[in-house]
Amino acid sequence: MTECYYISQNELPAVLETVSGLMDVWVPLKTGTHKTAIEFAPFTPGCRPIFDRQSTSSPKSVLFPQSETLFKFRYLKDESDPTRQTVALTDLEEIRPALVFGLRPCDARGFLVFDKVFLDGIAKDPYYAKRREKTVLATLACKTPDSACFCSSVGSGPGDRQNSDLWIIPIDDGFVIEALTEKGREVLPRFGKPAGESQIKQAEKVQKHIDGLTVGKADLTGAGSEFTRRFTDTEFWRDQVSKCLSCGMCTFNCPTCYCFNITDDAHGLEGERLRSWDSCMFNHYTREASGHNPRPEKYERFRNRVGHKFSYFPERYDGMMACCGCGRCIRNCPVSMDIRQIVRSLKENADV
């Protein structure tokens, strides 16, 4: 391990408060009326970040807000020709640097999917790109996977450092933090002091233990051909998704889902263009202006979701899965839908 710092649990709040004066700091916090959900929210003095279990929702909203203004517009009358109008657009708002502290390896892997779609295509999304450039991902090595997690089943693991800028390893009384990228090296000196030999040895022991964990019982990679063979088996898909409510919870909490809608909110001659999360599980998502809907039934929408994550995306992006195995779609589903079971069924009954 190189460039490692150590910070005690007691010192961490004060450091995060100091850093929050320089950039936006997002940490997992209990939210809502009953404080039962955990989501990434701005750090404030006195708040108590939750690091001992996974957040209810992923931190994707930091880089991809649930609703954001893309630009504002104003129609201007042409005084020389009253029949004509022009449109004035505002520039992009300045985006502050940000630190996401305490996300899990599956969350960091989720941003790899976003990077492929929003940065590596023919056109780069300027809104996501600006946030991505200015955001430091400080990932917590995952010691506490639960029964819904399956990151190892999709080619990752609780010790996966891919796409992280800082790597946080919890030890007895604090954290050893290692810089993995240049962005991470710029921030690292603000976290405590260089780690001592005993602290590094503790961290290496924890890392070795985490690297040895297998989270998830089945291999869910390489299901593309089985999905294709099952695509027209209507009875199979209806049976698999019969209890689904189409509530969209799985997509909103998923670190890799990025469906969105674009709307204009105008009042008089002024307005703003908004981008808001949408869900492929909603009936209206694919409904066209003519009224035709190419995926009117629930099984068709769920089949598309499975196909996107385990067949279409890997086929387009060199085998990369659009699922990070975080388990949020399983853990938080009101009727206990389990995407692992559906993909296993694809593979187990591929020749049926």
Please state the rounded mean pLDDT for residues 202-219: 95
Q: How far is CA 231 from CA 10, 57, 97, 220, 300, in A?
A: 54, 30, 44, 17, 10
| Contact indicator for 2, 177 with CB cutoff of 8 Å | no
Residue 100 has pLDDT above 50, yes or no: yes
Per-residue pLDDT at 79: 83
- Greater model confidence, 206 or 93: 206
d(CA 180, CA 193): 17
Which tokens sit at 136?
């430091």
d(CA 83, CA 94): 35
Phi, psi (deg, nearest 5) at residue 122: -60, -40
Q: Does residue 24 sit in helix, strand or coil?
A: strand
Task: Give every strand in the sheet of 37-42, ordered side by side.
Answer: 37-42, 24-31, 98-103, 135-140, 166-171, 174-179, 4-8, 193-194
Please state the rounded mean pLDDT for residues 233-258: 96
Range with lowest mean pLDDT among 217-221, 239-243, 271-275, 348-352: 348-352
Instruction: Give the pLDDT band of residue 352 (cuts 50, 70, 90).
Output: very low
pTM of the predicted structure, to 2 decimals: 0.93
| Contact indicator for 220, 310 with CB cutoff of 8 Å | yes
d(CA 9, CA 13): 8
Consecutive H or E run containing 269: none
CA 27 from centre of chain: 14
Q: Which residue has the tokens 């020389």?
A: 80
The CA dihedral of 280, 283, 289, 293, to the nearest 10 degrees, is 90
By residue count, the chain amounts to 352
Phi, psi (deg, nearest 5) at residue 74: -150, 125
Per-residue pLDDT at 150: 97
pLDDT digits (tens, 9 = 90+) for 213-234: 999 988 999 999 999 999 999 9
d(CA 13, CA 31): 18
Instruction: Give the pLDDT band of residue 350 (cuts 50, 70, 90).
Output: low
- β strands within 195-306, DSSP E: 260-267, 270-277
d(CA 332, CA 249): 8
Count, in order, helices (H) and strands (E) of the chain: 13, 12
d(CA 208, CA 200): 12
d(CA 83, CA 77): 8
Q: Which residue has the tokens 């206990």?
A: 336
Per-residue pLDDT at 351: 53
Q: Which residue has the tokens 């997992």?
A: 28
CA 23 from centre of chain: 20
Q: How far is CA 51 from CA 26, 39, 133, 172, 190, in A?
A: 13, 11, 25, 14, 20
d(CA 63, CA 95): 11
Per-residue pLDDT at 192: 83
